[in-house]
Structure 1
Amino acid sequence: MSLNKFYASLNSQLEGLLSAERDWLANTANASALLFMVMEDINWAGFYLLHGDELRLGPFQGRPACTRIPVGAGVCGKAVYSGEPQLVDDVHQFPGHIACDAVSASEVVIPLYTAGERCLGVLDVDSPRIARFTEADLLGLQAFTQVLLSASEIPMD
């Protein structure tokens, strides 16, 4: 299956999964579970949620993770600081990488923005394989986060 078809199917599954639920926390939990269930060669999928000047661990699937990441630190913190998604082929070569799981070798991080341009946090997906993620994965996961954001009632704080 091509990546475009994979992500079209994934996003359709997410829409169905979230169709009867608007709760942000429940929806991020189910979104991370869905990613972990269907994506190959990943060892972590989840969310870090923005609280002031730090990201705090949110719903995820995988091994225990770092609980707090300062904005600007590591791959997740850089995504929030820059406002840009991060596609990292080798996390061990990323300046300031935070090793929450020594098994992780590559990573893709998508910042989550409301329509009003408020940052909520990030979607973080890790793989034990170097260069696991492509531009097609980045685009597919960006579309995935838009489905999540559209289906959810976003908390005010």
Structure 2
Amino acid sequence: MQKQKFYELLNQQAKGLIDGERNHIANMANLSALLFTNMEDINWSGFYLMDGDNELVLGPFQGNPACIRIPVGKGVCGTAVSEAKTQLIEDVHAFEGHIACDAASNSEIVIPVYKQGKVFAVLDIDSPSLARFDEQDRLGLEALVKSFEETL
């Protein structure tokens, strides 16, 4: 299936799951499961939430156990917060300051989630393949995050 069509259908499913639900933990849990069960070639999907101004804490996810706390500015997730932009990393081992929570992960995409103009959380998806994520993934996942932000 073409990626654009895949993300259109995935985002319809996501909206159906979270429409009318205001609890962000419940929505994060369902979105993590939706992504994990529908995306090919991924080994982790989940959220990290801001805990104060300088740290992310593990939120709902699917996959192997993960790092619990990540300082802002460290690793791919912390960099997404400090730069306030999506990080699309083809090879995490070449990313300076990468935090290896799962040695099987080789590429990663992290999208900031905003609430009232501030980064509230990040959506983090890992793959065991190098260069798994591309521009179409970025656009599709950013659209999904926008739908989630509307529930916050």
Scaled by the length of structure 1, the TM-score of the pair is: 0.94
Structure 1 residue ranges (4+ consecutive) displaced by more than 6 angstroms after TM superposition: none
What is residue 42 of structure 1 aligned with on the other side? 42
The answer to whether structure 1 residue 124 and structure 2 residue 130 are counterparts is no
**Within 1, Cα distance between the matches of 2:142 and 2:75?**
20
**Within 2, Cα distance between the matches of 1:13 and 1:75?**
27
Offset, 1:20? 4.1
What is residue 61 of structure 1 aligned with on the other side? 62
- Unpaired runs of 5+ residues, structure 1, are none
- Cα deviation, 1:71-122, whole Å, max 9, x if unaligned, reads 00000000000001100000000000000000000000001112x3111010
- Unpaired runs of 5+ residues, structure 2, are none
Partner SS for 2:13: helix
Offset, 1:23? 0.9
**Within 2, Cα distance between the matches of 1:97 and 1:20?**
37
The answer to whether structure 1 residue 71 and structure 2 residue 82 are counterparts is no
Partner SS for 2:93: helix
Opposite residue 5 of structure 2, the aligned amino acid is K
Scaled by the length of structure 2, the TM-score of the pair is: 0.97
% identical equivalent positions: 58
Partner SS for 2:113: strand
Opposite residue 149 of structure 2, the aligned amino acid is L
C-alpha RMSD of the superposition: 0.8
Offset, 1:25? 0.6
Opposite residue 139 of structure 2, the aligned amino acid is L
Opposite residue 46 of structure 1, the aligned amino acid is G
